[in-house]
């Protein structure tokens, strides 16, 4: 789902800003945003608090930038799906479902960074929460566009159903309530897309 933290052997070779972001990602994912202080991030990155504040005005700004990177990974999945299946929106939708399904094993022990962050940041004015909300809105618009391009009736409703399945699979994987979540996810999304297709397309007309 999100990029995994780089190995320590590479960290020292990275520019300071990237080292800080890598350290923040590792700590936020493993310990949570609220429990991790700037000093801990500095120590993990091999730098100082003063250096962190030269790149990020506040810890909140650092959290927001980390989540922008995570969101960019998800948006890149849309780009890859479109590039791999040009002019085939149905296959693009299924490619997105596969992307989520393939990331589920990591969620089982790291958790979804968006879900985890929202739980820790109830204030909707927090800059990191705004990043998540903007990302989710953009993701929904792109999925609705794919559903419309596929000729599916009521693209907004179909996109909502697919979103519920994708995000529900992530939560279920994180809490361990459903086994074979990836396989089930793919079957459900394919069923939604095929059920919603116009009858003439399903019949090959």
Q: Which CATH number belongs to the domain containing residue 42 in this structure?
A: 1.10.10.60
Structural domain containing residue 40: 8-55
Decide if 113 is inside a domain: yes
User: How far apart are alpha carbons 25 and 17 in whole angstroms?
Assistant: 12
Q: What is the pLDDT of residues 94-149, one digit of tens each?
A: 999 999 999 898 876 677 899 889 999 999 999 999 999 999 999 999 999 999 99
Tell me which residue has tokens 């397309």: 201
pLDDT at residue number 187: 96
Which parts of the chain have pLDDT scores under 50?
A: 1-10, 199-200, 202-203, 205
pLDDT at residue number 175: 83
pLDDT at residue number 12: 56
pLDDT at residue number 205: 45
The percent of the chain in helix, strand and coil, each rounded to the nearest 5, is 75, 0, 25
pLDDT at residue number 1: 35
- Mark whether 112 and 85 lie in a shared domain: yes
Cβ atoms of 156 and 144 closer than 8 Å: yes
- Mark whether 75 and 147 lie in a shared domain: yes
pLDDT at residue number 97: 96
pLDDT at residue number 204: 52
User: How far apart are alpha carbons 11 and 25 in whole angstroms?
Assistant: 12
Decide if 20 is inside a domain: yes
């Amino acid at each position: 789902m999100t990029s995994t933290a780089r190995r320590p052997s590479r960290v020292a070779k990275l520019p300071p800003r990237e080292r800080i972001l890598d350290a923040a990602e590792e700590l936020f994912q493993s310990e949570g945003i609220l429990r991790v202080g700037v000093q801990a991030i500095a120590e993990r990155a091999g730098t100082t608090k003063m250096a962190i504040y030269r790149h990020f005005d506040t810890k909140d700004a650092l959290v927001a930038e980390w989540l922008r990177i995570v969101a960019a990974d998800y948006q890149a999945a849309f780009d890859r799906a479109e590039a791999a299946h040009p002019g085939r929106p149905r296959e693009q939708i299924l490619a997105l479902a596969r992307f989520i399904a393939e990331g589920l094993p990591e969620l089982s022990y790291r958790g979804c960074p968006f879900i985890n962050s929202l739980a820790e940041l109830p204030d909707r004015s927090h800059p990191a929460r705004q990043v998540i909300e903007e990302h989710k809105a953009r993701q929904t618009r792109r999925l609705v566009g794919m559903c419309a391009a596929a000729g599916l009736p009521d693209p907004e409703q179909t996109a909502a159903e697919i979103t519920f399945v994708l995000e529900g699979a992530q939560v279920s994987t994180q809490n361990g309530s459903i086994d074979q979540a990836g396989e089930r996810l793919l079957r459900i999304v394919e069923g939604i897309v095929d059920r919603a297709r116009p009858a003439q397309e399903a019949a090959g007309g």
